[in-house]
């Protein structure tokens, strides 16, 4: 596909329809989940770590799961009947080889398996180690079915380093575990995880639109945005429901698989994994930095706490949720923009002329440094605001 304005307008119209459908479905399903959780008594109680003041239903992830189905249905149609799909969403023969039914089944299956695991935890409760073991089982399935990180690219590399299958499976499993738990741990105030999902979908969309090979990703980005927005209608500013573990773990798995999907795009338009990592890096950075800090202090890493950077910002600002959400959103948007640029130009060295290799390498390195600076600025600002 050649990038042009007409293409962009037509794709935008199609994706708006998908996003709107996902939002309607998520809105309806979230309303239903609120009533159902209320009848069952599946509520998030108030404790000394809570940011809410009244028991609140916590199965809002049901709405997001329902909304995501809109994107999966479109992708299934793209695979089943490519000849009748609009040109902008038509899989070429090359694309169908790298994302066929097996990988699609891995994507859908792992996404909803993460939802099911979180649902069980929300309804019945699970110990931390038992949940981690179940997460590991779910996370290893996609790479065994072919959805794994297959190549690594860093600034200045004129070619892509292929990973051995075993290393790819191990790295992918670890990546999915990190993403599931990062979103789960960061889902601590109204709107935070939902906004993260929306902004990540925008970053991925901006980094991929206009390039061949991204057709299957665009409907998924649109569905994630719409589903998250439909849920957020009931979550901010005053929460009628929380997404719960069923929502946060599912979003983490979905985004993790989206990033892997990017690395497997056809080699005529390969996308660098590091670009997507930049888009979602704030949640990962906050979780890992907090765990390292608590580990150095000799604290129990499995014990719940209020020591994440965003929680420190919240406490320092008198539990002002809106101010903290605005603070975090700003950094999420900036990192999404930087990551989107990297997705466009991160492989500039690959296939470019010798004249362009040095400038493209410098651009890639600068983008990584800028992203790192933003993360440090976020940590500094959260602890001193």
Residue percentage of the chain with pLDDT more than 90: 57
Task: Give CA separation, 105 vs 112, 141, 147, 217, 273, in Å.
Answer: 11, 11, 10, 15, 22
Tens digit of pLDDT for each residue in 215-270? 678 899 999 999 999 999 999 988 899 999 999 999 999 999 999 988 776 654 55
Classified as helix, coil or strand, 59 is: coil
Tell me the average pLDDT across 100-124. 95
Contact 226/21 with Cβ under 8 angstroms?
A: yes
DSSP string of 192-216, one letter each residue = HHHHHHHHHHHHHHHHHTTSTT-TT
Enumerate long-range contacts of 285-294, CB under 8 Å, 24 or more apart. 285/375, 285/378, 285/379, 286/182, 286/186, 286/310, 286/378, 286/379, 287/178, 287/181, 287/182, 287/185, 287/186, 288/178, 289/379
Whole-prediction pTM: 0.91
Q: What is the DSSP letter of 87?
A: G
Predicted confidence at residue 292, as pLDDT, reads 94
What one-character-per-residue DSSP string does 251-319 give? HHHHHHHHHHHHHTS-TTS---HHHHHHHTHHHHHHHHHHHHHHHHTT--TTS--S-SHHHHHHHHTTT
pLDDT for residue 301: 82
Mean pLDDT, the chain, whole residue set: 86
Residue 2: predicted pLDDT:
45
What residue ranges do the domains of the chain occupy? 5-384
Taking only the tens place, the pLDDT of each residue in 352-365 is: 545 566 777 788 88
Q: What is the per-residue pLDDT for 119? A: 97
Pairing between β-strand 161-162 and β-strand 151-152 as defined by DSSP bridges: antiparallel
Q: Is the pLDDT of residue 369 over 60?
A: yes
């Amino acid at each position: 596909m050649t990038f042009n304005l007409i293409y962009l307008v037509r794709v935008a119209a199609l994706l708006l329809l998908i996003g709107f459908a996902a939002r309607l479905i998520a809105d309806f399903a979230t309303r239903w989940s609120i009533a159902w959780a209320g009848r069952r008594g599946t509520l998030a109680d108030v404790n000394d770590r809570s940011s809410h003041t009244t028991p609140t239903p916590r199965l809002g992830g049901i709405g997001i799961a329902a909304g995501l189905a809109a994107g999966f249905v479109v992708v299934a149609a793209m695979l089943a009947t490519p000849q009748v799909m609009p040109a902008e969403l038509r899989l070429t023969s090359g694309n169908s080889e790298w994302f066929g039914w097996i990988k699609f089944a891995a994507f859908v299956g792992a996404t909803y398996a993460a939802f099911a695991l979180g649902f069980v935890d929300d309804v019945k409760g699970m110990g931390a180690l038992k949940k981690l073991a179940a997460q590991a089982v779910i996370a290893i399935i996609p790479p065994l079915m072919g959805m794994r990180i297959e190549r690594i690219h860093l600034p200045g590399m004129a070619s892509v380093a292929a990973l051995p299958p075993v290393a790819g499976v191990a790295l992918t499993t670890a990546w999915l575990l990190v993403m599931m738990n990062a979103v789960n741990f960061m889902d601590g105030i109204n709107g935070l995880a939902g906004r993260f999902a929306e902004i990540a979908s925008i970053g991925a969309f901006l980094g991929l639109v206009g390039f061949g090979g991204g057709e299957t990703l665009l409907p998924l980005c649109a569905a994630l945005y719409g589903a998250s927005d439909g849920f957020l209608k009931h979550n901010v500013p005053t929460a009628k429901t929380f997404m719960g573990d069923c929502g946060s773990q599912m979003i983490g798995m979905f985004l993790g698989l989206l990033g892997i999907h990017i690395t497997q795009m056809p080699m005529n338009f390969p996308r660098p994994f590091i670009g997507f990592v930049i888009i979602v890096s704030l949640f990962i950075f906050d979780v890992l930095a907090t765990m390292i800090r608590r580990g150095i202090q000799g604290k129990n890493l499995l014990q719940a706490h209020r020591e994440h950077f965003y929680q420190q910002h919240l406490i320092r600002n008198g539990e002002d949720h809106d101010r903290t959400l605005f603070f975090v959103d700003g950094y999420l948007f900036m990192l999404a923009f930087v990551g989107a640029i990297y997705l466009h130009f991160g492989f500039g060295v690959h296939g470019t002329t010798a004249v362009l290799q040095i400038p493209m390498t410098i651009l890639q390195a600068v983008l990584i440094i800028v992203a790192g600076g933003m993360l440090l600025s976020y940590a500094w600002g959260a602890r001193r605001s």
